[in-house]
Amino acid sequence: MRRRYAVVDVFSDRRLLGNPVAVVLDAEGLDTEAMQRIARWTNLSETTFLLPTMVAGASYRLRIFTPVSELPFAGHPTLGSAHAAVTEGLVARPAAALSLTQDCGAGLVPVQVEAADRYRLRLPEARCTPLGAADRAALEAALGGPTDAAVPLQVIDVGPRWVVGALADPAALLALQPDMTRLAAFERALGATGCTLFAEASGTDADGDIEVRSFAPSDGVPEDPVCGSGNGAVAVLRRALGRIAPGAAYIARQGRCVGRDGRVELSLDAAAAVWVGGACVTTVRGTIEA
């Protein structure tokens, strides 16, 4: 069956510099096995499937797959799929700002459509588990370098379960060359989706307030180009450390080590909920036989 298909570049307003998500727009009738087969074929960090929803108040149902498994929620697929739903006519585009509600495995996720094809989502409530010295040593062995001992190492569950830690500076983070086999084993031992690391940028860096890298080799994604849920998990940790307060915002830069250059907009609302946003642009439109 011929189905509409789009690839959306997320966290960039310039094509080919963000994180692409493949979106199957007419997914009704596909079973889980077929969806996983398509996601394995696209071989992107995530592929999504837009479906009708039976949940009151939801705009659509979204299923999200990596090349090897289904996720209950993920950041850049949520934003890119919302962009595809609006631009391809599944959701009417009004003249004013639009609020959508995504029905997914993690529940209902609010998504706001802002001016100039900018989107943001409210991160699901996080569950945090601190890790000890042995886990830090295992992570550092897989990374091939030290982490910042002043920042606690945690598993932060926002749907995907990210091990989140910090490095001393952006140069050290960008220089990392992890042992992906060891890192995958570390993730599996903790039941984690992957590892997201950040480093605070200098006050003179106009391109972002922090640098971020996300690795998920155990889920078939050695390095995620620009990761929404990983950045959201970092914001949860920075909130706990007092580095971001309600009403504040910052910019994360990610993707330079894999030929991308994304910008992720993070903010806390008055209730201290984390919002993750950025620009979206469609790079491919077509059909897929599936």
Active site residues: 46
Which residues on adjacent β-strands are paired with residue 9? Answer: 20, 281
Distance CA 238, CA 251 (A): 13
Torsion angle (degrees, nearest 10) of CA 135, 253, 267, 272: 10
Rama region for 128: left / alpha / beta (φ>0; ψ in -120 to 50; rest) = beta
- What one-letter code names the amino acid at 56? A
Q: Report how far residue 207's alpha carbon sits from residue 254's, in angstroms, rounded to the nearest whole number.
A: 10
- Cα 99 from Cα 120, distance rounded (Å): 10
The residue with tokens 């390095």 is 223
Supply the angle between the helices 75-87 and 228-240 in degrees, to the nearest 10: 130
Radius of gyration of the chain (CA): 18
Tell me the one-letter amino acid at 244: I
> 270 - beta bridge partners?
none
* 103, two tokens: 């029905």
Q: Which 8-state DSSP code applies to residue 27? A: -
Residue 145 has what DSSP assignment? Answer: S
Q: Tell me the Ramachandran region of residue 255: left when phi exceeds 0, alpha when psi lies from -120 to 50, beta otherwise.
A: left
Fill in the DSSP letter of residue 16: T
